[in-house]
Amino acid sequence: MVDIYASDAEQAEALKKWWRENGKSVVGGLVIGLGGVFGWQSWMQYQETSAARASFQYHQLSRAAQVGEAESVEKQVGVLEKEYAGSVYRLFGHLELARLKVEAGDLAGARQLLEAVMADADDPSLRQVARLRIARLHLAQGDLDAAEALLGQASEDGFVGEFQAIKGDIALARGDQEAAIAAYRAALENQAGNSATLRLKLDSLGWDGEGA
């Protein structure tokens, strides 16, 4: 079983980044653009109601995902797709459903959902989370070239440690222990979320900590 959700903190961090960086500007931009039609009070009431409903829908979806109710999650994703197509919660629903599809062995279905997130997300953090998980799927399926190509398109940002960790796994799969050690060390230096696992991998490769 491949763990495309090697760091569950990725998704939580991406959501926090989205609200911190985009929440106010998105609402503000919509108010400016549509305020003349609806009026400030009417638009704000509409926006708050829509956001609250989308949030509640995602909350229900998330609860179902936690207990593995794949059928319920798929239905909730359908509702988000139909009624809240412009909401970030739709994309987070895709991430949740992709995890369940991996657990069910449907790697192709999971990749399709993740590719949709990478293509549709306006926020760089969400695109990076999807990119990470697609790369892990490629790696699990033995398609090292596809995984490497995908990582090569990634920008340098707060997820660089996670990307370095996967690069180490790719190098190890190719039999290049020196490159694997270098990538794992870079992952640790960039505060990858799975630091304990990375140290175990380095230990297994005989790294003695020199040059740290």
Higher local confidence (pLDDT), 131 or 43: 131
- Counting the structural domains of the chain, the total is 2
- Convert the pLDDT of each residue in 46-71 to its tens digit: 445 567 778 888 888 888 888 888 89
Give the count of alpha carbons within 13 A of 63, CB side only.
6
Share of the chain above pLDDT 70, in %: 74
Residues 131 and 170 in one domain: no
Whether residues 29 and 95 fall in one domain = yes
The b-or-e profile of 115-152 (16+ CB within 10 A means b, else e) is: ebbbeebebbbbbbbbbbbbbbbbbbeeeeeebbebbe
Tens-place pLDDT, residues 162-189: 999 999 999 999 999 999 999 999 999 9
Regarding whether 125 and 34 lie in a shared domain, the answer is: yes
Span 29-44, average pLDDT: 47
> Does any domain span residue 111?
yes
Residue 27's pLDDT is 46
Query: Do 18 and 64 reside in the same domain of the chain?
Result: yes
Query: What would the mean pLDDT of 134-138 be, rounded to a whole number?
Result: 93
Confirm whether 1 is domain-assigned.
Answer: no
What mean pLDDT, rounded, does the chain reach? 80
Alpha-carbon span 191 to 197, nearest angstrom = 12
Q: Are residues 102 and 207 in the same domain?
A: no
Domain of 78, CATH number, reads: 1.25.40
Check whether 145 has a pLDDT greater than 80. Answer: yes
